[in-house]
Amino acid sequence: MLAQARKPRKEHRTVKQMHADLVKLGYEGSYGRVAAFARAWRADRHRAAQTTGRGTYVPLVFQPGEAFQFDWSEDWANIGGERVKLQVAHIKLSHSRAFLVRAYPLQTHEMLFDAHWHAFRVFGGVPGRGIYDNMKTAVDRVGRGKQRDVNTRFKAMASHYVFEPEFCNPAAGWEKGQVEKNVQDARNRLWQVMPVFKGLDELNQWLEDRCIALWAETPHKALPGTIADVWEAEKPTLMASPPAFDGFVEHSKRVSPTCLITFERNRYSVPASFANRRISLHVYPERLVIVAEGQTVCAHERIIERSHHKPGRVIYDWRHYLAVIQRKPGALRNGAPFIEMPDAFRRLQDHMLRKVGGDREMVDILSLILHHDEDAVLCAVELALEAGVPTKTHVLNLLHRLIDKKQTGLPGIDPPEALALDMTPKANVHRYDDLRQAKGKRHAS
């Protein structure tokens, strides 16, 4: 079997062709001289491209209040004794170079919107232009040149704060070089010297305080004074910051028959009246808001678990299931949501379930919070337990006393001394027998 002939390299074929063409024109030099000339020509072209193209930059100057630059980075912090990877937002004013660093668990729209609000709050206003790379939370599609399909929610945020977003060319990080450098500087100034934190809120407060302190410690380099001095001069040129943008991300969810919705591998309870129906989920960085029929139905603290090895969690609100147990009181006995009831309700339930019909009575007591203040109902239950009379009738009696006391609000009575009693009256039931007799005749009682 014949071996396949080795295919000559493209460079050799090109040089041979060049040599053949030169021989036809009367050139008498060797093939080696032509190859050396071709290599030298390529080297000159490559050197020219490096010196006159990508390797050459123009220094940029920004006017006060003109622009800010934004970028993301990934860094690690010790939160609650655990080393956690975080997505870090860097926002920097292009003129004064005042900067803010803020950490988030994810690079999502709601985190991006929250970072802008805190930056404008700390800077004391909004610049006229924002410079970004082509991040997915801002740009849906990169077109030719400067053409961009900007994300709808990002465009709404920019319109709310009235600044113009501007996007760099792909792979052209030098177009926002200030914030790119800030990412590197922050690792030395902040992340390598930070202490251990209990939570993300404590970390972000430390980052904010430390950034502001660094403004006063860092010289501006391009202008006299520190970053803080130049920022004080730039602040009057910034636009006034409006109220925070309602930066939620909306999802359509269907409520399960068990009154739960699923988001990020976790499940959250919804009032039973919306079971098997569609609702709107508004996602914020720290909370989830369920909206239906144009009104807020309920809200939950958002649980973000980065590890995929742990099972998802179920977050119940036992109040959401009161309409169910009114029809099915037996579900109260082993219902998972009712494990999280206040301790007083749990102790009252232990007493109630020992007698016949206790399930129904306990449901009636829990349903009181649908019409009365929950703290008042809880106080009535605690008083009933302290008195040793854990019954529905006694709880209702105590609750009405508490409510009537709150609703009365009448001023205290201070009787004059003339009406004061000299002798405290004594109970004497025999006086009623005298009253029942008239002219010697005894009336029927």
Band of the pLDDT at 438, cuts 50, 70, 90?
Answer: low
- Write down all domains in the chain, each with its CATH number in brackets: 1-53 (no CATH), 67-237 (3.30.420.10), 249-315 (no CATH), 321-403 (no CATH)
pLDDT at 115: 97
CA atoms within 13 A on the CB side of 206: 18
| Whole-angstrom distance, CA of residue 170 vs CA of residue 137 | 15
CB 203, CB 103: distance < 8 Å: yes
Name the amino acid, one letter, at 322: L
Instruction: Report the candidate in 116, 112, 63, 113 with the shortest Cα–Cα distance to residue 87.
Output: 112
Q: What is the pLDDT of residue 306?
A: 74
Q: Are 94 and 131 in contact (CB under 8 A)?
A: yes
DSSP state of 303: -
Per-residue burial over 112-126, b = 16 or more CB atoms within 10 Å of its CB, e = otherwise? bbbbbbbbbeebebb
Residue 301 carries which side chain, given as an amino acid letter?
Answer: E
CB 138 within 8 A of CB 150: yes
Q: Which of 31-40, 103-112, 254-263 has the lowest mean pLDDT?
A: 31-40
Q: Where in 270-342 does DSSP place strands (E)?
A: 278-283, 287-292, 295-301, 314-315
Sequence-ordered list of residues with C-beta below 8 angstroms from that of 233, at least 6 positions apart, any chain: 64, 96
pTM of structure: 0.76
Examine the pLDDT at 355 and tell me if it is beyond 90.
no
- Residue 324, both tokens: 């169910």
pLDDT at residue number 408: 44
DSSP-derived 3-state class of residue 130: strand
pLDDT higher than 90, residue 440? no
9-33: pLDDT as tens digits: 444 456 677 767 766 767 666 777 7
Q: What is the dihedral of CA 289, 342, 402, 412, to 10 degrees?
A: -90
- Contact criterion met (CB below 8 Å) for 106 and 141: no
Task: Give the type of residue at 280.
Answer: S
- Tens of pLDDT, residues 193-248: 889 999 999 999 999 999 999 999 999 988 999 999 999 999 999 999 999 999 99
